[in-house]
Structure formats: structure tokens, C-alpha cells
Amino acid sequence: MSKPKVLFIDDEERIVRSLTMQFRASYKVKGVTDPTEALKLISNDHYHVVVSDQRMPNMQGTELLKQVRNISPLSLGILLTGYADLPAVIGAINEGEIFRYLTKPWDTDEINRVLEKATNIALQMEPFRTLETIPAANQIIGPHIMVVDEDPAIHEAIASQFEGKYIVHWAPNLDTAFNILNTNDIALAITDLMLEGEEITPILGTLKQYNPNILTIVLTKLKDSNIIINLINQAQVFRYLPKPIHPALLNKSVIAATERYTQLCNVPIFAKRHEVEKLAEETITPKKTSGFLQLLRTRFAKANNTIATAA
């Protein structure tokens, strides 16, 4: 079996040289300093994983990885950058839909682990590279959406915007969110990052871990680069949108999310590209959050056992 192909792009030659030397024993590696050259390579050959810097003279890494997704949808994108500025992190979600966000100087063990996981996932998806675009399901009423927000006006605005298209549920607190998840097949969660006084990234990460088909759109006023990086690495959020609601932007994001949900349901292997890092128990400190996570784990463990028994 041939080695997975990994492409490194960074405008600094020394970094490209260091990365290619570090990984040439494990992968078939190529390194370039010009994003335009990288796109030409990807157009002519399949690379399982593309690792890009963010700040480059001719093209930002988020724009490059967006174009990579258009050319090669099953290539996994990783942003490796020394800058955690807010626009870059948000762009990594909304434009690049990246697999991981790593920082320079990189941790050798971390980048080794991430590349191993990414290439393994890409190899599993490779048989589907020639698959045609999967059409949306023929439904009069679309998938279920759960709005997780304490503000009833947010739920009312979203429910009104999508009336007749999707079934919209409202969860003003964690208990209600769990009950909705327990009784409905939720395709998309539109959620704030703060709920009942707690930042809920651990919940979104656990939800993704136990049900990778559920997609998440974060709709929030919170602007913190480190939290958003965690949303990429730990929760694989689909989109990050600011409050107040921009209806056109939300509509575009919801349509894209429901199309992706249909694809994940029809070709389950594609959910692999949304795998998340498992949270260490010691990082989950708030009592309410910990209890909710335990309920989620129990709920999805029962569901998985039911599926296994039926099979």
C-alpha cells in the first residue's frame, strides 16, 4: 500500500523544509512556498491532507483551504499558524471548514497525532472520491433544527425565518436540550456559546463525539480566538456567525448544513472528517455541564447498543 500524500504550504522555506524532513518517512510529502503552485499540484494529483500556513503574501491560508475543498472535497485541511487572530480563526471554520487548527511553534507529538488521524480518515474516504454530488432528500418538511439560546426572541426569529421548511425546536436550557435530543432526530443545532452562565464548548464537543452527523452553527456575541480554536478541534462546528442575526447569512449557512447532513446520512463514512478530539475529564469542571455530558453519553451509548443489537 502506498503512503498517504501530504502537502505542506508555508511562505518560509525553512518551515517547509523542516516539515517535509520530519514527515518524509511516514508520508509521501511535498512542500511549496507558493499557494498558487499548491493549487496547481492539487488540481493534478490527490493529496490526502493539506497543511497550510495562514499569513502568506499571495493568499491567506483560509482562502487556500477553501479553494482546496472546491478542487478536492475529500482532502482534509489543517491550518498551522503562529497567529490566532479572530478573523483567521473564524475563516478557518466558515471558509476552510478545516479539520484542525494547530499553532506554531508546533508540538511534535500533537502534529504527529493529528496527521496520523487525518491521513487515516482520508484513506477511508478515498473510495468515494469519484462519487457524484448527492442530491438533497426529497422532503416537504426538512430535518429538525434545535435552537439553543436563552433568548426567546432568537428562537422566534429563527422559527419565523424557516417556517414551512424545517421543524424548529427551542432549548432555553440544558435540560430542555437533552429532552429534545432524546426524542427527536436533530440534524442541526443553532446555539449560543453561553448558556446558564457557562461556556458550552465541552457540550458541543461531546455531542459531536457521540453523534457526528449533528451539525452545529454557533450564533453568538462571544469573540475569543482560543475558544473558537477549541470549537474547531474539539467540536468541529460547521459555521460561526455573529449576533445579531443576519437572516441572509443564516439562511445560506442553514441550507449548506442541511445539505451536508443529507450527505452524511447517505454516506456515513463522510462523518469521519468531522471527528473531534476527546475531552479530558479534568477539563470539564462546571457541575451543570458535567451532568449534561453524562446524560449525553448515556443516551448515545443506549442508542448505539440498540443499533448493534438490531444488526
pLDDT digits (tens, 9 = 90+) for 180-197: 988 898 999 999 999 888
Residue type at 252? K
Region 125-154 average pLDDT: 74
Bridge partners for 9 per DSSP: 32, 52
Q: How confident is the model at residue 203 (pLDDT cuts 50, 70, 90)?
A: confident
Instruction: Determine the pLDDT at residue 307.
Output: 35
Region 144-167 average pLDDT: 96
* 246 pLDDT higher than 70: yes
- Alpha helix segments (H runs only) across 135-246: 152-161, 174-183, 201-210, 225-235
Region 3-30 average pLDDT: 97
Q: How confident is the model at residue 128 (pLDDT cuts 50, 70, 90)?
A: confident
Bridge partners for 219 per DSSP: 241
Instruction: Determine the pLDDT at residue 301.
Output: 59
User: Which cell is 244 given?
Assistant: 445579531
pTM of the model: 0.88
- Does 5-128 carry CATH code 3.40.50.2300? yes
Q: How many CB atoms neighbour CB 253 within 10 A?
A: 21
Instruction: Determine the pLDDT at residue 282.
Output: 47
Nearest to 259 by CA among 246, 270, 248: 270
- Alpha helix segments (H runs only) across the chain: 13-23, 35-44, 61-71, 86-94, 108-125, 152-161, 174-183, 201-210, 225-235, 247-266, 287-310
Give CATH superfamily name and number for 144-310: Response regulator (3.40.50.2300)
| CATH 3.40.50.2300 domain extents, the chain | 5-128, 144-310
